[in-house]
Amino acid sequence: MWRWFRRKESELDDEIRFHLEVEAEERMRGGLSPEEARYAAHKAFGNVAAVKEVTRGMWGWTSLEQLGRDGRYAVRALAHSPVFAITAVLSLGLGAGANIASFSIADSFLLQPLPVADPGELLAIHTQTPHRPLDTVSYPVWRDIGSRVRAFRGVTGHQLTRFAFASHSNEVPQMRFGLEVTDGFFPVLGVAPAKGRALADGSIDEVLLGHDFWRQQFGADAGVVGSTVHINGKAFTVVGVAPEQFTGMDAFLRPAFFLPVAAANRGDRSRTELLEDRMQRRMQIRARLRPGVTKEQAQAELTSLSAALGAEFPNEKESLELRAYTELELRFRESPQRVGLVAALFVLSLAVLGVACANIAGLLLARAGARSREVAVRLSIGAGAGRLVRQFLTESVVLSLAGSVAGVAMAFGAMQLLERFQLPTDTPIVIATRMNSRVLFFALGLSGAAAMLFGLAPALRAVKLDILSSLRAGEGRTTGGHGNWGRSALVVSQVAVSLVLLVTTGILLDAFRGMLVLNPGIQTNHLMMFEFDTALSGYRPERSRVFFDNLTDRVRALPGVRSATLTRAIPFRPNFTEQPVVPEGFEFPKNQTSVLVTTNSVGKDYFRTVETRLIAGRVFDDRDTASTVPVGIVNQEFARRYWPGQEALGKRFRIGEAGQWVQVVGVAETGKYLVLTEAPTPYVYVPYAQRPEPRMALLVRTEGDPASVTQPVREIVHALDANQPVFNVRPFAEFYEQGVLGMARLTLEMVGVLGLLGFGLALVGLYGLIAYTVSRRTREIGIRMAIGAGRAGVVTMVLRQALVLVGIGVVVGLALCVPVYRLLGAALVGVGGASPWMLVLVPLLLMITAMCACGVPALRAARIDPLVALRQD
């Protein structure tokens, strides 16, 4: 822009110089000396500077210059009323800051695109089954999509798996997440390794390190490329390092390394099945569209492929229905809770911003009232109304820019706080909220919109003034009894918005506080957890069983240990497996032959160790072995749902539609399994002895400090097998506090802060607005007193008028609460009813504020001498 201006300027100089020279030459030909000719040419031309000035005016720069002038004027005007400016900037800063923080959370949860080339071309492909609306896809089907769907340029699959990783064969392996990827993963995504090369197609013994892992584990040593590492006991060659920005395919879980899914062929039998079994639907598929092909065309091909595969493999139990989603659609479907959290934060922060805007609009209106004389003068000396509106708007824009700078600063602080928050697992979960261009763009758009919102109305109002009357009357009378519709509306909307804000905050606080006091169904103190995965060290099932039996026997014998048990699933950790279960005698809805129920393999002493109450029957004990009748324990909810009104003990169910019958020997109390706010969920326990698993957690109930058994347990493990990795070693209470309650507490704090913020802003704004309105009426009150109105009468009148406005606001606000409440209830699990105290307390507080706000200035007005009040200008 500036360069353009400079070029224009020098061209203009050249043009005029040329003119003068030609003119002078002509005069020289006419007989003048060069000196005289030049002089005459200049004289004939006139004032060069003035001509240039007028010419420049033709370039369309005047409006920009005016803008600059308006800006300077606005800054000066704001500097003249610092209290107003600071209040406005702070209000807007808080409002904008809350929104920017919410947006950046939304951004990191939902919006951040995959760190790959042209993420917009990628589609995610999942399959639908009657049980699972969003299921992953099997390896053979990945191959089918790649070879039979023409809409895609490339198709790739991946899945996160735990591996035992060791840099040397004699090192104790550590548990790490690796991303198993199909051929073509890196080229299809367009990710080029930072070091070395990508995995070769068809290789089964190559590994590519993640950038973070490479730095932590190998100190960013480039020499590691080409060396050998051990994964699940097998040798792999490091062929490269992923670029820093490619952190995997999940926003939170970052894999330590990438390895070919085909490497499963070198593992045990259960892993080999992964590559052939069409029922092992575990691959996340991403496909890159060919240029010019639409998602709909791809979907049409996928639909016909699903039908074809259904015909080719009729004995697959669950039909295949392939669906293409954009990344954003997928994220919305995958985690409605995240969407709910984001929605709740947005509702709140938008309400805070609304209150802030109302505050500023009130302030600006007041200012516009106070400036009516200035406006009148400027109008009467010929300023156009449009010009004045622009001036006022410029002031709002300057305010909003300052506000958004303050907002960005505050949001930045809030995000630093969020970044400190870490989930207590060995898993590298990263909440990466970042200031990025999207966030800043959002901030600017938001403050621009806010400026329009709160700037336009006062500006329009100001220029509609009757010039003559406001010149004559000065500032005092223009805001008399009539024509205050705008300000009344503002008071009403201010009250309404703050009511919505507060009730929403209250609902959310109630919901999250409810989480903190909920009974998790297990006793979390004096409980220590250890995790093992014997498959990682290549144990056969028999060896694994012996290892776990020995382990629990020896741990039980440790001093200070009350009991110890094995469990496949750790409560509140999302690593449950839901399995199709067929409860005997249950009548299924049409087209359904089983229900999905979470099942857990637990050792004996489980219920005693976690202290979950058994309602009826017995716990698992040494009677239950691999050779005896399969037994199981269901929770009350299971019994209630599938055998309503019947005795559950002695009933049977199958796990898997063709599974053996399992006899119910006990009924356990329904607890919380995944989140504290979940609805009662059916749950099934089976004995470890009858359903052994390679991956188990050891839970130890101790007499004293749970951490005191850490070392003894490690020693026992070391004595059993020096190469057996132990991971996620921590007191259960710590995991529970931080991992389960921490999230709730964090949300609670955020919501609470937002709510308080909004409330503070609302009260200040309401007070200011009403107090200002009343103080404008000092003169009117003086007149009323002078003609005989009593002091009490005047104060009552003012109070009554204010209370009517606040009352209307309360009614409007309560009406608005209904849809907001519906929205929250739909988006967020565990939102209970609005408790009555909020519906009473909040309006009451607003009323009291309003009364103080008009009471104080009204009393002051009533107390002054009517004569002074009348003279007041």
281, β-bridge pairs: 138
Alpha carbon distance 51, 803 (integer Å): 64
H or E stretch including 417? helix 385-420
Q: Say which residues have a Cβ less than 8 Å from residue 447's Cβ, sequence separation at least 6.
A: 92, 96, 400, 401, 403, 404, 407
Distance in Å, CB of 69 to another protein, minimum: 21
- Minimum CB distance to another protein, residue 780 (Å): 52
- Whose Cβ is closer to another protein: residue 20's or residue 253's? 20
Least distance from another protein to the Cβ atom of residue 48, Å: 9
DSSP string, 257-312: EEEEGGGGGGS-HHHHHHHH-TT-EEEEEEEEEPTT--HHHHHHHHHHHHHHHHHH
Residue from 33, 36, 54, 804 touching another protein (CB under 8 A): that is 54
In the complex, minimum distance from the CB of residue 386 to another protein, in angstroms, rounded to a whole number: 22
| CA-based R_g, the chain, Å | 37
Task: Tell me how far, at minimum, the Cβ of 59 lies from another protein, in Å.
Answer: 7
Among 16, 350, 674, 746, binds another protein (CB under 8 A): 16
Q: Does 649 bind another protein (CB under 8 A)?
A: no
Q: Which is nearer to another protein, 19 or 143 (CB)?
A: 19
Least separation in angstroms between CB 53 and another protein: 9
Identify which range of 13-21, 435-443, 587-595, 721-729 contacts another protein by CB under 8 A. Answer: 13-21
Contact pick of 30, 31, 60, 833 for another protein (by CB under 8 A): 60
Candidates 4, 29, 30, 58; binder of another protein (CB under 8 A) is 58
Q: Say whether residue 64 binds another protein (CB under 8 A).
A: no
Nearer to another protein among residue 59 and residue 441 (C-beta): 59
Other beta carbons less than 10 A from residue 82's beta carbon: 9
Nearest to 256, CA basis, from 429, 420, 116, 434: 429
Q: Is 70 in the site for another protein (CB under 8 A)?
A: no
Per CB under 8 A, which region of 18-26, 456-464, 604-612, 677-685 contacts another protein?
A: 18-26
50 binds another protein (CB under 8 A): yes
Q: How far is the CB of 381 from another protein (least distance, A)?
A: 22
| Angle CA 505–511–512, to nearest 5 | 90
Binding region for another protein (CB under 8 A) out of 55-63, 96-104, 575-583, 670-678? 55-63
Rounded to the nearest 5 degrees, what angle is found at the Cα of 582, between the Cα atoms of 581 and 585? 150
Amino acid letter, residue 657: E
Examine residue 296 and tell whether it contacts another protein (CB under 8 A). Answer: no
Out of 5, 7, 9, 21, the residue judged to bind another protein by CB under 8 A: 21
Q: Does the footprint of another protein cover residue 51 (CB under 8 A)?
A: yes
Please identify, using beta-carbon distances, which residue of 49 and 311 lies nearer to another protein: 49
CB of 26: closest distance to another protein in angstroms? Answer: 9
For another protein, which is the closer residue by CB, 54 or 200?
54
Residue 11 or 873 having the CB closest to another protein: 11
Pairing, β 661-668 against β 652-655: antiparallel
Q: How far is the CB of 1 from another protein (least distance, A)?
A: 16
Residues 421 and 111 sit within 8 Å (Cβ to Cβ): no
55/575 with CB nearer another protein: 55
| Side-chain half-sphere exposure of 824, counting CA atoms within 13 A | 28
From the list 5, 59, 421, 837, which residue makes contact with another protein (rule: CB under 8 A)?
59
Which CB atom, from 57 or from 120, has the smaller least distance to another protein?
57
Q: Measured from the CB atom, is 12 or 429 closer to another protein?
A: 12
Could you say which of 6, 7, 22, 844 contacts another protein (CB under 8 A)? 22
Which position has the token pair 């839970």?
Answer: 699
19 binds another protein (CB under 8 A): yes
195 CB contacts (<8 Å, ≥6 apart)? 222, 225, 240, 241
21 vs 621, beta carbon nearer another protein: 21
Minimum distance of another protein from residue 52's CB (angstroms): 8
Residues touching another protein: how many (CB under 8 A)? 23
Q: Which of 6, 10, 36, 44 binds another protein (CB under 8 A)?
A: 44
Name the 3-class secondary structure at 235.
Answer: strand
Q: Cα-flanking dihedrals φ and ψ of residue 652, to 5°?
A: -130, 160
Among 5, 6, 7, 14, binds another protein (CB under 8 A): 14
Binding mask 23-42 for another protein (x = CB under 8 A): x-x-----------------
DSSP H or E run through 722: none
Query: Of the two residues 43 and 420, which places its CB atom closer to another protein in the complex?
Result: 43
**CA 333, 572, 592, 140 torsion-angle sign:** positive
Nearer to another protein, 7 or 69 (CB): 7
Q: Strand locations in 310-373, DSSP E? A: 322-325
| DSSP-derived secondary structure for 140-202 | HHHHHHHHH-TTEEEEEEEEEEEEEEESSTTSPPEEEEEEEE-TTHHHHHT---SEE-PPPTT
Query: Would you give the DSSP letter of residue 739?
Result: I
- As a residue count, the chain comes to 873
Q: 54 vs 235, which CB is nearer to another protein?
A: 54
Q: Cβ closer to another protein: 11 or 865?
A: 11
Quick check: 612 and 699 in contact, CB under 8 A?
Answer: no
**Helix %, strand %, coil % of the chain (to 5):** 55, 15, 30
Q: Please, which residue, 23 or 107, has the CB nearer to another protein?
A: 23
Q: What separation in angstroms does the CA of 384 have from each of 35, 64, 468?
A: 48, 17, 16
| Residue 847 φ/ψ, nearest 5 degrees | -60, -45
Largest CA distance in the chain: 131
Least distance (Å) from another protein to the CB of residue 20?
9
Distance CA 306, CA 128 (A): 11
- We find the least distance from the C-beta atom of residue 372 to another protein, in angstroms, to be 37
- The minimum distance between CB 50 and another protein, in angstroms, equals 7
Determine the interface stretch with another protein among 6-14, 444-452, 603-611, 731-739 (rule: CB under 8 A): 6-14
Does residue 18 touch another protein according to CB under 8 A? yes
Q: Between residues 50 and 722, which has the closer beta carbon with respect to another protein?
A: 50
Kindly indicate which of the ranges 19-27, 239-247, 504-512, 643-651 contains the residues binding another protein, using the contact rule CB under 8 A: 19-27
Closest of 251, 107, 263 to residue 185, by C-alpha: 263
Distance from C-alpha of 210 to C-alpha of 495, rounded to nearest angstrom: 53
Helix (H, G, I), strand (E, B) or coil at 851: helix
> Is position 13 an interface residue for another protein (rule: CB under 8 A)?
no
Instruction: Name the site residues for another protein (rule: CB under 8 A).
Output: 11-12, 14-16, 18-19, 21-23, 25, 44-47, 50-51, 54-55, 57-60
